[in-house]
Every structure is written in structure tokens, then in C-alpha cells.
Amino acid sequence: MPELKQSLLIAVVLTAGVGLFALMFNALRPAGLPLFAVLPYETFVPCPEPVGEVYSTGAESCAKKGAFIIDARPAAEYEAFHVENALHVPFDYLVPVSREALATIARSRAKTIVVYGDGGQPDNGRELARELAGSGIKHVFFVDGGVAAIKKAKNMDGHHDAQ
């Protein structure tokens, strides 16, 4: 038992000594690190969960008259292929949809909003659709299977044209 007390005492003294050394070293530095945060810590993800209800639809809905089509994929993928007249609104988990994009969608007065993405898990088209619906946009659908389903419906077989 005395060995345990002695080991514990050594650990406490060693920890206190190293901590004191670190504080002294920090105090002597020209630009020492603050011991307490001067400003509140920044939260990188705002984390508001989109609450809007969205529905899945097939690729054929992109050809539906009066549908407002939105491509949620990154710019390079949009440039390589996109549905004709699709609005490019790339989805980003960390950045909310811009007010300009929301205003453009609202001004369209479309009865149906169809969003497509990469078709992955999670599908960025579905996530953008949820965010749009959560922002008050009504009748939002996402293409189940994303751009691959659209290409398959158009019988593109891997060939694509930028539009």
C-alpha cells in the first residue's frame, strides 16, 4: 500500500510540475496562448435540420411541362451534363441555400419543383429538396436515383451532352 501512495504522489507532483512549466513557458512567449477564450468558439455547422416534407419521383418528371428543374450537384458535374434549363443550386451541408436562389425559385411560380442530384447515399438532390421545403417552398420532389436515373430514362448509355 505504501508503494501505491508513493506512486500517486509522484504522479501528482510530476503533473503539477509539468503544468507549471507549461504556464511559465507560455507566459514567456511573445504571443502566448490565451488561457481562456477571448471570443466565443465558432460552431462550424449551424445544424438546423430541414423540416420540409419532400417526395421522391421518377426521372420522367424532369420532362413534365411546367416543372421547375434544379440540379444540386457540384459545378463540374453540372457542366459535364445537366437537364435542359435546370437551375444550378449546388447543395452544401455547411452553407444554406442563398436568398437569391430561393427568390428565383419562388418567382418561377412553378406548381412542381423537381430536384436531382448525384443519386448517392445520401443523395445531395434529396437533401437540397428537404432544405428547400424547409425554407417554405411547396411541392418539392427529388428524382429517385439522381442523374443516373435521368440518363437511363433518356437512354444515354454513358454518352452525354453539356447543355
Considering only 12-26, 54-68, 149-163, which range has the smallest mean pLDDT? 149-163
Contact residues for 149 (Cβ-Cβ < 8 A; gap 6+)? 58, 59, 116, 119, 143
Q: At residue 46, does pLDDT exceed 80? A: no
Q: What is the pLDDT of residue 53?
A: 85
Query: What's the mean pLDDT in 69-82?
Result: 96
Task: Give all domains of the chain, ordered by start, each with its CATH number.
Answer: 55-153 (3.40.250.10)
Selection from 40-54, 86-100, 148-162 with the highest mean pLDDT:
86-100
Given a cut of 60, whether residue 157 has pLDDT beyond it is: no
- Predicted TM-score (pTM) of the model is 0.66
The answer to whether the beta carbons of residues 142 and 120 sit under 8 Å apart is no
> Could you tell me which residues are beta bridge partners of residue 142?
56, 115
If pLDDT is split at 50, 70 and 90, which confidence band does 6 have? very high
